[in-house]
């Protein structure tokens, strides 16, 4: 039986610890340059269709389907190399690794992400996040639907979830209630979507950047959940 920690920190990857919007823009620029605007548009059409079907972003799956249209183009092999060898460590948000170290002083840190079983682990490994959390990485199709599994693997009295999507935080909070503190970093296009944000209850704590968590001590995070207010405790 696994020991029960006092607290476990769950951290999303894309647009929470890593600037995935930047990765997306770099890929689009690469496609436009190497394949032309029309082919680039076709790839993103397939990408969005696949995301709707699967519920997560599948860059390599979209490439595989795109290949069916361009079977005779050997240039596609270079596109896969661009994705697999991308320098993800350069796209971490400022002080993201420091935040992981900061939080780990109070309890285990876990990267909790949605994604496929090939590209998403590769991204987390090459970014340095895998090592930073000492291999504590969970990747699901819909992580908010896998909370029983998360709690079984990392049992704790209390959890803190950091995610750029208010929808995910609200859904997890509805299930775990006061056993979960939700933290919303306003980073990336999802976090800045005002229409989406007003459709769900606010997170327990909102910060502008992931690095801002370095300014909080543990009581301030937990008090945000208990009182439903934002409390800042400068170190």
pLDDT at position 93 is 97
Tell me the pLDDT tens digit for each residue of 154-174.
999 999 999 999 999 999 999
- Residue ending a domain, choose from 42, 72, 88: 88
Do residues 62 and 134 both lie within one domain? no
Indicate whether 53 and 134 sit together in one domain: no
pLDDT in tens, 84-105: 899 999 999 999 999 999 999 9
Asked if residue 68 and residue 27 are part of one domain, the reply reads yes
106 and 211 assigned to the same domain: yes
Q: Return the higher-pLDDT residue of 65 and 69.
A: 65
Per-residue pLDDT at 229 exceeds 50: no
Same domain, 62 and 107: no
Distance (Å, rounded) from C-alpha 9 to C-alpha 181?
A: 9
C-alpha closest to that of 62 among 32, 33, 83: 83
For residue 235, being part of any structural domain is answered with no
Give, in order, the Cα–Cα distances in Å from 139 to each of 144, 147, 162, 200. Answer: 11, 12, 15, 24
Q: Are residues 165 and 56 in the same domain?
A: no
Claim to verify: residue 144 and residue 208 sit in the same structural domain: yes
Residue 66: give its domain's CATH number: 1.10.286.50
Q: What is the CATH number of the domain that holds 192?
A: 3.40.50.1000
Can you give the residue range of the structural domain that contains 109?
Answer: 5-19+92-227
If one counts the domains in the chain, the total is 2
Domain endpoint, select from 33, 68, 88:
88
- Point out the domain boundary residue: 40, 56, 88: 88
Query: Is 221 within the bounds of a domain?
Result: yes
Q: Is there a single domain that holds both residue 47 and residue 135?
A: no
Yes or no: say if 31 and 40 are a contact pair by the CB < 8 Å rule: yes
Based on the fold, state whether residues 79 and 123 are members of the same structural domain: no
Per-residue pLDDT at 19: 97
Alpha-helical segments (H) within 55-118: 59-69, 76-84, 96-104
Residue 53, domain member (yes or no)? yes
The answer to whether the pTM exceeds 0.85 is yes
What secondary structure letter does DSSP report for 208? S
What Rg, from alpha-carbon coordinates, does the chain have? 19
């Amino acid at each position: 039986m696994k020991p029960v920690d006092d607290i476990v920190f769950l951290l999303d990857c894309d647009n929470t610890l890593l600037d995935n919007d930047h990765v997306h823009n770099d890929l689009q620029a690469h496609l436009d340059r190497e394949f032309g605007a029309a082919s680039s548009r076709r790839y993103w059409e397939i990408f969005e269709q696949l995301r709707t079907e699967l519920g997560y972003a599948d860059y390599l799956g979209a490439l595989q389907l795109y290949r069916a249209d361009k079977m005779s183009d050997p240039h596609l092999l270079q596109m896969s190399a661009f994705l697999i060898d991308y320098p993800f460590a350069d796209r971490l948000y400022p002080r993201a690794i420091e935040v992981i170290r900061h939080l780990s002083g109070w309890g285990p840190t876990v990267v909790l992400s949605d994604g496929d079983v090939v590209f998403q682990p590769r991204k987390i490994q090459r970014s340095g996040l895998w090592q930073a959390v000492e291999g504590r990485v969970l990747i699901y199709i819909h992580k908010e639907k896998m909370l029983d599994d998360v709690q079984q693997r990392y049992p704790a009295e209390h959890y803190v979830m950091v995610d750029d999507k208010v929808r995910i935080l609200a859904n997890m909070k509805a299930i775990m209630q006061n056993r979960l503190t939700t933290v919303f970093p306003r980073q990336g296009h999802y976090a800045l979507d005002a229409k989406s944000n007003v459709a769900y209850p606010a997170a327990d704590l909102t910060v502008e950047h992931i690095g801002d968590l370095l300014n909080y001590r543990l009581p301030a995070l937990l008090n945000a959940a208990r009182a439903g207010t934002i409390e800042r405790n400068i170190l």
